[in-house]
Amino acid sequence: MTNHSPPSILQLRDATTDHDYGKDPEERTLEERLQLGIVNLDKPAGPTSHEVVAMLKRILKLPKAGHRGTLDPGVTGVLPIALSKGTKVLDALLLGTKTYVTNMRLHGEASEKRLLEVLAEFTDQIYQTPPLKSSVKKILRKRKIHRIEYLERDDKNVLFLVEAQSGTYIRTLCVDIGRVLGTGAHMQELRRVVSGPFSEKENLVTLQDLVEGVILREEYGDDSKLVKSILPIETAVALAPKVWVSDGAIDPICNGSPLAVPGIVRMTSNIQKNGLVAIMSLKEELVALGIAQMNASQISQFEKGIAVMTRSVLMERGTYPRAKK
């Protein structure tokens, strides 16, 4: 993986949390996870991403689920699917990079030396137009390729790993590489191995795993497999800038109020004005998503003022008591 340094944590004031209220996300029951959870699904080849989401909803008997970062029918790999109220965090999934392993088929001969040179040329800012099959508007867009790692080659089949900004089209990337090589090329196979905070190496489950979990629950009263398969929704905001707030600041936020500076206990150093922010409890619960009205430096300097405008509330009202005046 690319060495992305994690942001530092800035402590603004001392505070403790009352353990009579709220709950550690890892301690949530299956019913709570079905309402506020996310599945790191291994998408199979064949169905569309929307069809896979529909299958998951039927298996888990849920009226609502959603995803970001659509994979084409033939593409496999990591497809995070948020459940029920958890769909409110889907925008946070666009914050991280995505990593793919692709098999590119060359249409002509090219030396390995020249191939490596061209792959290196594409490890930079690039410009792409979405492919014809895409439903996205066909306009030129800029994307960042963080890393291309050449893995192996079998004649005209080239296997490589690419880590890229969300929204990068690997099919288009292969065509462009072939054009620069002068041989022509197309994407033959593709698997997504990382999507933001989700990886195929951790907590990846299949639709069959979910079916087996449902059977264990319904026939034997054992919900352990489903609990393990459905991650706390907080997993989805692992890469998002964060503020941790005092217990007394939580209920006003749950009622839609903005977050003022005095309610912040600590924060990450990467908060940018007008950027997405995850508002967290001191028990690491995701309270809401909001839009920063100040950057981290301003929040640390000011004693009052609105720091974050609340946008999407996930925590139920009344989970924490209001602060006593």
Q: Which residues are catalytic?
A: 72
The answer for 68, left when phi > 0, alpha when psi is -120 to 50, beta otherwise, is beta
Name the phi and psi angles at 323, rounded to 5.
-65, 140
CA 43 vs CA 49, 160, 208, 319: distances in Å: 8, 20, 11, 35
Which parts of the chain fold into alpha helices (H)?
A: 30-35, 49-60, 112-121, 170-181, 207-220, 224-229, 247-254, 296-301
Strands (E), the chain: 9-11, 37-43, 65-67, 76-83, 98-106, 125-128, 141-154, 157-164, 185-195, 198-199, 231-232, 242-245, 259-260, 264-268, 276-280, 286-292, 306-313
Yes or no: say if 293 and 275 are a contact pair by the CB < 8 Å rule: no
DSSP letter string over 15-41?
----TTSS--GGG--HHHHHHSEEEEE
